[in-house]
Amino acid sequence: MTQGSFPILFITATRIGDAVLSSGLLAKLREEIPNARFTIVAGPAAAPLFADTPGLDEVIVFQKARNGGHWLALWNRVRHRRWGLVVDLRGSAMASFVRTKRRAIFRRQPGPAVHKVIEAARLLKLEDEPPAPHIFTSPETEAAAAALTRGEGPILALAPAANWVGKTWPLERFAQLAIRLLGEGGALQGARLMVLGSPDDSGVVASLRHVVPKARFIDLVGKTDLLTGYAALRHARLFVGNDSGLMHMAAAAGAPTLGLFGPSDDTLYAPWGPHTRVVRGARSFEQIRLQDPDLNQSFCHMMDLSVDTVAQAANQLLKQTEMSHGRHL
């Protein structure tokens, strides 16, 4: 720790999407406390998102252990330091036993549930002006992303995977959507197609690689780190994807983002930002829950979302963002 610095312990989410939605707090703290030094605690999936945070001392990868032993291990790791502020989005008991001048620990509040960005903002009493999600990237990360996306024409970014089959729009419909948007007469005729996902999602590439010629296909499925993938999304003219961490990354990156929703609550998890939209099928989230209270993971709830509905929403979003993002054309 450098002299005169203000050490902050920031405990964020395990899942990528939740970590992105609360990331605006980090940016706000960086803005308000220029001498802040951050120690960020995150799950293995989300931890890489924070590698370029200014003033970063350390990212602690938070691995779950039996009987809550991970909290004891974390306490042993951070208890010897005197913190200026502890922000705990996990609402753990551990955060109450760390030496600090101030602590902000998540506690669920009574009343109607609110969007996760607002819920996070409440932790620092910022709910009236909730800070938008923000992921820091270094010039090196931006340069790597620029190299991956270098080429002529705008980019349609697709993320066809999700963390369970219930909220995964059928892959063949993603292909049909891409053909409509990129083919003759489409709103993005002649544009490039960029597909994103984890190494576990490699199967989606085979169904999409023939939608456009090889020179117009950008395969980032398991091919790059999470932070560079985020930076690559800054170059997208439009992103379409299921409710997932990549959807929230796209919105945070500033790409016009169309989120496809079914058995998840868009009032809590809609992509955040002025250039984002949600589209769902004929059933509301509440109607889906009535039909399937336990949200059975073996059953897809996205079958009533048609290609026509998504294509119409995509065309509308493209038109609405022409002034702000049309430079990509």
Regarding whether 148 and 262 lie in a shared domain, the answer is yes
Q: Do 275 and 162 share a domain, yes or no?
A: yes
Say if residue 290 is in the same domain as residue 149: yes
Give the end of a domain, one of 124, 155, 174: 124
Domain of 91, CATH number, reads 3.40.50.2000
> Number of structural domains, the chain?
2
Query: CA 113 to CA 110: how far, in whole Å?
Result: 8
Residues facing residue 242 across a β-bridge: 260
Q: Does residue 227 come out as left (phi exceeding 0), alpha (psi in the -120 to 50 range) or beta?
A: alpha
CA distances 67 to 11, 64, 70, 72, 286, Å, are 19, 9, 8, 10, 34
Buried b (16+ CB within 10 A) or exposed e, 195-220: bbbbeebeebbeebeebbeeebbbbb
List, edge to edge, every strand of the sheet that includes 6-11: 56-61, 36-42, 6-11, 85-88, 103-105
133 found inside a domain: no
Q: Residue 214: what residue type?
A: K
Mean pLDDT, residues 91-109 taken together: 94
Give yes or no: residues 103 and 160 share one domain.
no
pLDDT for 3: 59
Q: Are residues 160 and 184 in the same domain?
A: yes
What pLDDT does residue 65 have?
80
Q: What is the pLDDT of residue 329?
A: 42
Same domain, 119 and 143: no
What is the SS3 assignment for 223-269? CCCHHHHHHHHCCCCEEEEECCHHHHHHHHHCCCEEEEECCCCHHHH
Residues 38 and 143 in one domain: no
Say if 1 falls within a structural domain: no
Residue-wise pLDDT tens digits, 174-220? 999 999 999 999 999 999 999 999 998 888 898 899 999 999 999 99
Residue ending a domain, choose from 96, 124, 152 = 124
Rounded to the nearest 10°, the torsion over CA 39, 127, 23, 324 is -150
| Rg value, the chain, Cα | 20
For 190, the token pair is 């002649």
The 3-state DSSP composition of the chain as helix, strand, coil percent (nearest 5) reads: 40, 20, 40
* 63, 97, 124 - which closes a domain: 124
Residues 273 and 159 in one domain: yes
Range of the domain at 277: 139-328
CA distance 87 to 77: 16
Cα 257 to Cα 314: distance, rounded to the nearest angstrom: 9
> Comparing 162 with 85, which gets the higher pLDDT?
85
This model's pTM is above 0.85: yes
Distance, C-alpha 205 to centroid of its chain:
21
H-assigned helices in 54-98: 69-78
Q: Check whether residue 176 and residue 101 sit in a common domain.
A: no
DSSP secondary structure letter of residue 180:
H
Task: Quote the CA–CA distance of 166 and 183 in Å, as a whole number.
Answer: 29
Nearest of 32, 33, 40 to residue 4 by alpha carbon = 33
Looking at the fold, whether 196 and 78 belong to one and the same domain comes out as no
At residue 47, the pLDDT reads 97
Same domain flag for 195 and 160:
yes
Q: Please write the tens of the pLDDT for every residue from 43-84.
A: 999 999 999 999 999 999 998 887 778 899 999 999 999 999
Instruction: For residues 92 and 32, state if they share a domain.
Output: yes
